[in-house]
Amino acid sequence: MKLSVVVPCYNEEATLEKCIRKLLEIEDDSLILEVIIVNDGSSDKSPAIAQELHKVFQNIRVVSHKENAGKGAALRTGFRHATGDLVAVQDADLEYDPQDLKRLIIPIIEDRADVVFGSRFLSRGAHRVFHFWHYMGNRFLTFISNMFTDLNLTDMETCYKVFKREIIEQIDIRENRFGFEPEIVAKVAHMRVRIFEMGISYYGRTYGEGKKIGVKDGFRALYCIFRYNAHRAPVPVQFLFYLFIGGTAALVNLAVFLLLLRFDLEVFVAAPVAFIFAAAVNYILCIKLLFRHRAKWNSAMEVFIYALVVCFMVLLDLVITSSLMAIGFWPFIAKLCASTAGLVGNFIGRRFAVFPEPSSGPWEK
């Protein structure tokens, strides 16, 4: 079994050599090790240290970025050069113990898993006691990620992730910095592969010792969780976010309807026109925020299905509005009731007819 370990490195001269030597210790008769150091535009002695290690050890390769591009970019480069049966990530700062990698690969070797995450929050080995609010931030991000992926991970932001190479080769990594973590979890969840999680040791360091992740990366992580998961999130989670989209469209629907009534248009004209206008707003928000990013009108069938859904909902909206007004409801109340019913109907039509995609989650084969 050959394990490729990608080591992103940016200004880690103090720990790089020690980290690599500890990593090389896990190689034995049953495990061939390939170490890929990605120098991500370091300005200290890290590039020279990496090259010296390459000269001494034949199984070490060094790839360099001219400028610092971020952890995600470094991993993207490293994964392209990996040739092992398995591919893992090892930070160069020694917060993680390479000996744990030997345990993490076992479920894959035994063909029980396709991906294994190492969790800092499951009981295993030594853990440096650290900042409470960092801990809470990690747990919060993991909780939100789990809502969208339908996984029950305990540590989404962990560095230690081991993949079968054919799994990581199928994933198009877009994030350049620490947004890689929620992005990779999202895309693995979309694949519905077998995911395991195991406890690991953790020797965290302070910002004074060189820790680089910051508050802005936490906000980026939230953005990435939504960006890479929304279109494949479980239906209840999608509906919660559709409430914003549908609610906005409903307000547009109501405003246009009341405006047209002030111009003395009949309800049988005002209601359909207002609904069609709101449907356009709804569609734009759907493809920009929820169901598909960069969606285009590139399929005649999609246009046809969307038109059918809109026509059906226009008819339903008209029937509800006119019926309620006929029995004495104020136009405002009648239209509000119709819009509320349309909110659910519109979501069902868009989710299951116009933008049908399977939800992400754990392996179900």
Q: What is the pLDDT of residues 49-76, one digit of tens each?
A: 999 999 999 999 999 999 999 999 999 9
For 12-23, the pLDDT digits (tens) are: 999 999 999 999
Please name the amino acid found at residue 116. V
> What tokens appear for 131 in the block?
């900042």
Q: Which of 61, 10, 41 is CA-nearest to residue 212? A: 10
pLDDT at 364 over 80: no
Q: What is the mean pLDDT of residues 79-93?
A: 96
Helix (H) or strand (E) holding 198: strand 195-199
Would you kindly state where each structural domain of the chain is located, as residue ranges? 2-230, 235-354
**Residue 79: pLDDT band by 50, 70, 90 thresholds?**
very high
The sheet with strand 60-65 has its strands ordered as 60-65, 32-40, 2-9, 86-89, 161-164, 115-119, 195-199
pLDDT value at position 284? 86
Q: What are the residue ranges of helices labelled H in 34-179?
A: 46-56, 71-81, 99-104, 106-109, 132-149, 165-168
pLDDT value at position 218? 85
Greater confidence (357 vs 11) lies with 11
Q: Which fold has domain 2-230?
A: Spore Coat Polysaccharide Biosynthesis Protein SpsA; Chain A (3.90.550)
pLDDT value at position 77? 97
Label residues 51-67 b or e (16+ Cβ within 10 Å = b): eebbeeeeebbbbbbee
pTM listed for this prediction:
0.85
pLDDT at 297 over 60: no
Q: Which of 57, 51, 44 is CA-nearest to residue 13? A: 44
Q: What is the mean pLDDT of residues 222-242?
A: 93
pLDDT at 191 over 90: yes
Please give the Cα distance from 347 to 35 (Å, whole number): 48
Mean of all residue pLDDT scores within the chain: 89
Please give the Cα distance from 155 to 198 (Å, whole number): 10
Q: What DSSP state is assigned to residue 288?
A: I
For 152-171, the pLDDT digits (tens) are: 999 999 999 999 999 999 99
For 238-272, the pLDDT digits (tens) are: 999 999 998 898 889 889 988 998 888 888 888 88
For 271-291, the pLDDT digits (tens) are: 888 888 888 888 888 888 898
